[in-house]
Amino acid sequence: MIPAGTAGAAGVPVPAGAGTGTPAAGSPRPVPVPDEQSAPFWAATARHMLTAARCARCRSLTIPPDQVCPHCDATDPEFVFEPVSGRGRIRSWTVVRQSFLPGFNAELPYLLVDVELDEQQELRMIGRLLDGPDSPVRLGTPVRVAFEDVADGVSIPAFVLADGQEDA
Ligand SMILES: [Zn+2]
């Protein structure tokens, strides 16, 4: 899961608060390095739960949170992470065929989807679509969050097609 607008220059997703990811032992892929603000987000993803930050001033949700609320410009948003459904619809996508980070070579090619979550208009996340590069995606295709366990206690949000694959 990857917040919109933070796709790295190399075309690979940069998770919220990832900073300069470093390869984890046993995993060639870079892993997020939580900071104070993003730590609750990554603690939740480790439990396979997706959260978004709610502004205490305007009650809008944001992923990832910044120092200032992007909705009401509050400089003291006092963001609190709360669970979201992880359901949303594809609003854009791309097929990644060349990775500029060697850790992703084994995954190529893969689909990167830009998803608007059901909870709020323009609440967007970018992530891999785990169904494969030939998945039948189009504008509005419903997806739900899934998690890739990339290291011990580290899980990265991604998406899978939601149609007919509902969890009980
Ligand atoms: Zn706000």
Distance between CA atoms of 164 and 168, rounded to whole angstroms?
A: 11
Report residues near ion ligand 1: CB below 5 Å: 55, 57-58, 69, 71-72, 74
Structural domain boundaries of the chain? 30-161
pTM of the model: 0.79
CB 124 within 8 A of CB 115: yes
Q: What is the pLDDT of residue 22?
A: 53
- Ligand 1 centre to CA of 117 (Å) is 18
One pLDDT digit (tens) per residue for the chain, 168 residues: 555 444 443 444 444 444 445 544 444 788 889 999 999 999 999 999 999 999 999 999 999 988 999 999 999 999 999 999 999 999 999 999 998 887 888 889 999 999 999 999 999 999 999 999 999 999 999 999 999 999 999 999 999 999 754 443
Q: Please report the DSSP string for 52-72 in residue order.
A: EEEPTTT--EESS--SS-TTT
Q: Could you tell me how many residues make up the chain?
A: 168
Q: What is the pLDDT of residue 165?
A: 47
Q: What is the pLDDT of residue 14?
A: 45
